[in-house]
Structure 1
Amino acid sequence: MSDQVQEILDVPREFLKDGIQFIHKAQKPDQKEFLKISQAVGVGFLIMGAVGYFVKLIHVPLNNILVGGA
C-alpha cells in the first residue's frame, strides 16, 4: 500500500523536476530567430485562412443546392 502512495507522489515530483530542467535549459530567441518564427506563424495563419475561405466558398452554394435553398 505504501508503495502505491509513493508511486502516486513521485509523478508530480518528476514532472516538477523535468519542468525545472527545461526552464534552465531554455533560452530566449534572438531577433533573427524570432522573426523567422513570426513569419512562419503568419504564413500558417494565411494558409489556414485561405483554406477555410475556399471550403466555405464551395460549401455554402453546394449546401443550398442539396438542401433546396431558400
Structure 2
Amino acid sequence: MAEGFEKLVEVPTEFFKDGTAFIKRCQKPSKNEYLKIIRAVGIGFIMMGVVGYVVKLLHIPIRYLIV
C-alpha cells in the first residue's frame, strides 16, 4: 500500500522538477529569431489561404456539374 502511495506522489513531483528545469533552460528569442518565426508563420497562413481558395474555386464548378 505504501509503495502505491509513493508512486502516486513521485510522478507529479518528477513532472514538476522536469518542468522547472525546462523553463530555466528556455530563453527569449532574439529579434532576428522572432522575425524569422513571424515570417514563417505568415508564409504558412498565406499558403493555407491560397490552397483553400483554389479548392473552393475547383469545388464550385464541380458541384454544379454533378447537380
Residue 31 (structure 2) pairs with residue 28 (structure 1): no
Tell me how far 1:60 sits from its aligned partner. 2.3
Change (3 A) 1:2 1:42: same
Higher relative contact order (CA 8 A, sep 6+): 1
Q: What is the TM-score normalised by the length of structure 1?
A: 0.80
Residue 50 (structure 1) aligns with: 50
Q: What is the TM-score normalised by the length of structure 2?
A: 0.83
Cα displacement string for residues 8-63 of structure 1 (whole angstroms, at most 9, x for unaligned residues): 33222222111101110000011111111110111111111111111111122212
Structure 1 residue runs without a partner (length 5+): none
CA RMSD of aligned residues (A): 1.4
Tell me how far 1:65 sits from its aligned partner. 2.0
Aligned residues: 67
AA aligned to 2:64 is N
SS of 1:9's partner is: helix
CA distance in 1, matches of 2:47, 2:2: 54
